[in-house]
Structure 1
Amino acid sequence: MDYKTLDALKPSEFEDAAGGYRSASDMASQAKDGINNQISVRMRAELTGQARDAALGQLKELSKNFHYAQVECGLVSTALNALAADLRAAKAKLDGAVADARAQKFTVNPDGSVSYPPAGDKVDGKVPEGSTVTGSPNGKGGGTTLPIDPSGTANDLSDALERQARNAHPNPNYGAALEYANRIATAVQEATEADEKWAPKLRELKADDDLTVSHSDWADAGRDMGGVKKSAADYLADIKPPPKDGTPKENAEWWKGLSAEERDAYVTLNPSSVGALDGVPSEVRDEANRTVLAEARGKYELDRAAIPPEPKRYIANPTGSYPAAVESAAWKQWNEKYGDRRDQLDKSLNGMKAIEDRFDKTGVEGLPEAYLLGFNAEGNGRAIVANGNPDTADHTAVYVPGTTSNLGKVGGDIDRMTTLWQESSAMVPGQQVSTVTWLGYDAPQSIVKDAPFSHYADDGAPAFNSFMDGLNATNTTEGGGHHTAVGHSYGTTLIGSAARQGDLNADDIVFAGSPGVQVGEASELDVPKGHVWNEEADGDKVPDIGRWGHGGEQWRLGGGVAIIPSDDLFGANQMSTDTEGHSAYWDEGTESLKNQAAVVAGQYGKATLED
């Protein structure tokens, strides 16, 4: 970039273009939501047959296109705003230098050089003539350090020699003109660097010329986001970040304090961060996490496709002796290199598909829109999925699953909360209910090796407390809504630990199949008296086994056994059950489910208690 270009440049034109792309992103978002939450919902409710299913499939693909356009246009908008910010800073430096030069009656030439008039004491009877100087970007002071001199020492020496030349020059205008010329050169250099940084980034923000949004497209969108975020570091630095380790209330205040442009930029380049912030509105978290999910699935699908097919595992024993079949050398080599990674990818992808399946069920049997309030595919995974918006719900239940829970199995937990939503909503017509699957911790993955230990619950409890506090901070109903914590198996232990460690922001607690909750009395669980509820089904062996690991420290039962919620001494409301075993508490049409729903809906008189 040269002086004339920068002098004529209007950063506002880039900002106007950014606004256009942001509008396009917003329109794509609205179109996507209209397809998902209105058109498709009505089709599922009012139509049947193969034609409907085919149309829904096409609408789903169209929704993907709008979602992809939303994300990419958002990136272009943020990139243009960041470019405009860089150019505006350079343009301000240029305009300041030019204004100062002209105020001193100097001439700024089309090439950026500065001409100054005659001035000074006469030399040999003549006033020192004027001349023209061409500047160069300052060394360390100008924001550039020449590659040949990373330390800047040579630049410092150059500056010193230049100062000597200014002082020695017979025309006093020389030094001022040189200063202006250097400032102009520095501004042009900074504008050039901005142009060279952003031009390739903007060229990369383009999609394939087809109507299919592939896994490769989403993986590419993830890379685009990383590239734009790296280049926009200075631009983002001017946006106030969320408070470090902030409380949900502090996070809510941070979000409210951002301008619309700042919110757009932060969500566009930090979707995983915003999606995980308790206290930020659920609609914002959902939008951010859906982008994280789409990009993660694109990457994971590509990684999975890159793994070679699994060779045949067993072959006939070449020795002809026992055993008749042995593992092949090819399979052993493949398994050592790819086995664990394949299993991890499959687990994560199964969870992503289950979450997307829930998105696609919106409207089926009146099921409300789903909200993805947390997502992370790494390790055992994280997923927080809500049926209905908890910010506007009169009654919200947050369910914590237990041992062996992970992203790959989250579909079953989502189904449990679907049935609980249906049963609870039916009890309070005209009121809004939200049921949330909260897989926000590392659950024990082995009943024998992990489940007896409490650190999984203790480590995950602060995150659960924060989430519950976040629901309170974002709920817009009068009184802040009615919130119930629902735990199954080891999930009850986590809820108990959360109440023991801090202020559990819940009105009711429901335990099902609890192995113990680390306290010996319901009164220690930080909810109003009489608002702890428990279910233990016939044939559920987990509660008695759990006494030895997670029961309360009040050893008042015969034989020195710790107290659990199923014991009368604990003080919970013992709700009757009609299911068998450890995993049927949410079966449709059961008394076990209806009793939980009665608590969630605040219809306590409809809950049946054991004698």
Structure 2
Amino acid sequence: MDLATLRALRPTRYTDAADGYRAASGMASSARERIDDEIARSMRQSLKGEAATEALGQLQALSGNFHYVQVECGLAATALDAFAHEMTAARRKLEAALEDARAADFTVGADGSVTYPAGGGESGGERPHGGSAAGLTDPTAAALGRQAGALDPNPAHRRAQDIADRIAAALQDATEADEKWAPKLRALKADDDLTVSAGDWTDAKKDTEGVLEGAAGYLDSLPHPPAHGTPAENAAWWTSLTDTQRADYLSVHPDTVGALDGVPAGVRDEANRTLLSEARGRAELDYDAWLRAHPEPERYTDYFNPMTGTEMKGVTVESQAWKDWKEARDDARGRLGSMEAIEARFDSYADESTRPYLLGFDDKDNGRVIVSVGDPDTADNVVTYVPGTGAGLSSVDGDISRAELLQDQASVVDPTHRTASIMWLGYDAPQDLMGDATDAKYADNARDSLSSFLTGVDTAHHGQVNSTVLGHSYGTLVAGETMRDHPDLPVDHAILVGSPGVGVNHAKDLNIPADRVWAATAKNDLVNLAPPPAGTLAPLNPKAYMRLFDDHSIMYGYDPTSDDFGGQRFKVADGKLPGSDGPMPAHSQYWEGASLTSMAKIATGGTP
């Protein structure tokens, strides 16, 4: 970058280009929303058959393509804004140096050197000669140049050297910005095909990381979200940003924006949908690699009569090798299948009241997912379901289905009000009953996160909202500890089903009126046998057997269905017997029949 080029450069041309890409991103977003919210939804409501199914599949692919365009154009806009920001700073540095040169009657050459006149006190009848100073950016050379200027009896030398160095620094800044952003912008060029593949989404993640790294200086100039901010502080930060700042921050920090409690649900959904698409792309590539590394063995093998040991002609059975391979394949595909199940909900809802919002997503470790069925920012009732032991990304489909069942039933029992039903897996849930679930640390680590989320729902809501927390299994302990430790939590009702205890002995300790705390446990739910913690000497500790002699002491405080707890109870079916359909079928039957209806009535402010 030379002096003439930098002087002629107009950063506004790049901000104008950024506006163009941002507009393209917005148009792609609008097109995607129109496909999802209008065209596809209307088709699902009115058309059936193979042709309709095929057309919907093509619309879903088109929606995904628009989403990709939205993300990539957003990144291009942010990159151009960052480039313009850096070039603006370099030009300002250059113009300030040139202005100082003009003020001192110095001449600036095309190469950035500065010529200065004779000046200073006479010595031997002569004034010190003038000269020329070349800009230096190497620290050692620059130090020597400044030293030479300081020793020159002509004071103009010292000033000219400073101006020349500033010009050189400005040119160097501009050159570095140009060299940095040229390849990053070229990297944003998409494949020349019409298919947005898993590889494209993986590249989008790399593109985001590249732009984020390059735009650090520009992003630092924007207002930052508050560190560990409250939902109200998060909301205030988002409101304070201009539309351009919001778009730029969202394009490179979807993980940050998507996790900010208090920010509008639509914004969080947009951010997390990007994270989901990128994660799904990675998972699909990983699964394809697994398939290549583990070729499918022969599925069928000859059958031998176990009694005689002779081969049965014409009879085959599935081989053990194939069964083992299938089990490993299903395990390798588990997380990908769960991500597909989440995305399928965006491709299948038929009514705006059941539109899904992805309010949280993280595929690290066991995974965290928060999905709202219906818009929590405008709903009259919001019920937040906290799942328990075994919950994670690989099994999230069933938990989201429970939220859908509750939302559907709420619309039946209270059709005049809107209900949003949220599945909140915003914590690391214990994964096994006999080990993890006997430790309260998972709930201890979750209570502040759940409190912030519930407060954020209230903060982002456009008016008054009736809020209910629904805990199941270990999730009741998470809900109970959260309510216990946050007395100002904006919660109106609590529902506790299949509970091993909620961290308190009395309903009043949950900081809402006891008559708004509702609990139920099915007769055949094995959680009824959960004893209090007995320590390492369990067989010798009388506390381990206390549950046999009273009706209130269980693992984490009093049984919320007992008289001693002091809350309300509602009836549920006995449930299936242990072992009749898995080890604990009754523990998962609360989203059926009268139990589901009762929970819907409570969540909408009624009485079961």
TM-score interval for Structure 1 and Structure 2 normalised by the shorter chain: 0.7 to 0.9
Answering whether residue 208 of structure 2 is matched by residue 221 of structure 1, we say no
| Residue 178 of structure 1: aligned partner | 161
- 1:326-365 to structure 2, matched below 5 A, reads 345-363=332-350
From 380, 384, 388, the counterpart of 2:370: 384
After alignment, is 92-101 or 235-244 more displaced?
Answer: 235-244
1:10-30: per-residue Cα shift (whole Å, max 9, x none)? Answer: 111111111111111111111
Matches of 1:519 and 1:510, distance apart in 2: 15
What RMSD in Å do the two structures reach over aligned CA positions?
3.0
**Secondary structure, counterpart of 2:422 in structure 1:** strand
Measured after TM superposition, the shift of residue 559 of structure 1 is 4.5
| Residue 152 of structure 1: aligned partner | none
- 1:281-430 to structure 2, matched below 5 A, reads 281-307=264-290, 308-309=293-294, 312=297, 345-363=332-350, 368-430=354-416
- 1:21-420 to structure 2, matched below 5 A, reads 21-121=21-121, 130-137=130-137, 139=139, 155=140, 158-169=141-152, 171-307=154-290, 308-309=293-294, 312=297, 345-363=332-350, 368-420=354-406
Q: Gaps spanning 5+ residues in structure 1: where?
A: 140-154, 317-323
Answering whether residue 569 of structure 2 is matched by residue 584 of structure 1, we say no
**Secondary structure, counterpart of 1:294 in structure 2:** helix
**Corresponding letter in the other structure for 2:108:** V
**Corresponding letter in the other structure for 1:458:** D
8 Å CA contact 1:452, 1:546 repeated in 2: no
Answering whether residue 560 of structure 2 is matched by residue 565 of structure 1, we say yes
From 529, 545, 566, the counterpart of 2:529: 545
**Corresponding letter in the other structure for 1:60:** Q
8 Å CA contact 1:249, 1:279 repeated in 2: yes
**Secondary structure, counterpart of 1:35 in structure 2:** helix
8 Å CA contact 1:4, 1:110 repeated in 2: yes
8 Å CA contact 1:454, 1:549 repeated in 2: no
After alignment, is 63-72 or 569-578 more displaced?
Answer: 569-578
Closer/same/farther in 2, CA of residues 586 and 168 from structure 1, 3 Å limit: closer
Measured after TM superposition, the shift of residue 558 of structure 1 is 4.0
Answering whether residue 518 of structure 2 is matched by residue 515 of structure 1, we say no
Percent of residue pairs bearing the same amino acid type: 46
Closer/same/farther in 2, CA of residues 419 and 116 from structure 1, 3 Å limit: same
**Corresponding letter in the other structure for 2:161:** L
8 Å CA contact 2:3, 2:110 repeated in 1: yes
**Corresponding letter in the other structure for 1:94:** L
Matches of 1:198 and 1:59, distance apart in 2: 35
**Secondary structure, counterpart of 1:534 in structure 2:** strand
Closer/same/farther in 2, CA of residues 134 and 17 from structure 1, 3 Å limit: same
Closer/same/farther in 2, CA of residues 310 and 442 from structure 1, 3 Å limit: farther
From 437, 442, 450, the counterpart of 1:451: 437
Closer/same/farther in 2, CA of residues 46 and 179 from structure 1, 3 Å limit: same
8 Å CA contact 2:532, 2:547 repeated in 1: no
Measured after TM superposition, the shift of residue 428 of structure 1 is 2.6
**Corresponding letter in the other structure for 1:582:** H
Measured after TM superposition, the shift of residue 404 of structure 1 is 1.3
| Residue 306 of structure 2: aligned partner | none
Matches of 2:215 and 2:82, distance apart in 1: 6
**Corresponding letter in the other structure for 2:599:** Q
**Secondary structure, counterpart of 1:115 in structure 2:** strand
Closer/same/farther in 2, CA of residues 17 and 180 from structure 1, 3 Å limit: same
Report the number of matched residues.
568
8 Å CA contact 2:552, 2:564 repeated in 1: no
**Secondary structure, counterpart of 2:587 in structure 1:** coil
8 Å CA contact 2:369, 2:393 repeated in 1: yes
Measured after TM superposition, the shift of residue 572 of structure 1 is 2.2
Closer/same/farther in 2, CA of residues 579 and 586 from structure 1, 3 Å limit: farther
Matches of 1:75 and 1:556, distance apart in 2: 59
**Corresponding letter in the other structure for 1:500:** R
8 Å CA contact 1:516, 1:546 repeated in 2: no
8 Å CA contact 2:202, 2:278 repeated in 1: yes
